[in-house]
Amino acid sequence: KTLNTDLGRQLGCSELGLRLWRLSPGQASTRHRHRVTEEVYVVLEGTGRLRVDDELLTLPPFSAVRVDPASVRQPFNDTESDQLWLIVGAPNEAANTAEFTDEQFRFHYPDGPRAMPPELGATPDEA
């Protein structure tokens, strides 16, 4: 399970999403996109690996990348060390998937909610 701290909620942010994610080796976040939220991914520890659309990024500690809302993104860890990410997004977009319509679900998760990157052994049928 991915360790995830919702700092935005803890701090009472209404317009800003702010999370810390720790990805252990072999873990990945959900491959997703947003309708309106622009996000910045900051690597705090480890070597960050992030797929944005068809581009594969390798990010050293203390580097960042901005991702526009429509781009499909997925941080993942195919290294041998933990990664610690700070993810900042605005405007804060509700993501209660239990309330999503089928169309909303397919938009946000174009490959389904459990798609793993090929770098972690996913086959094209799984992604």
Low-confidence ranges of the chain (pLDDT < 50): 123-127
User: Vertex 63, ends 117 and 67: CA angle to 5°?
Assistant: 55
pLDDT at 125: 45
Domains of the chain as residue ranges with CATH: 3-108 (2.60.120.10)
pLDDT at 92: 81
pLDDT at 124: 46
* Range list of β-strands (E), the chain: 3-6, 17-23, 38-45, 48-52, 55-59, 64-67, 73-76, 83-90
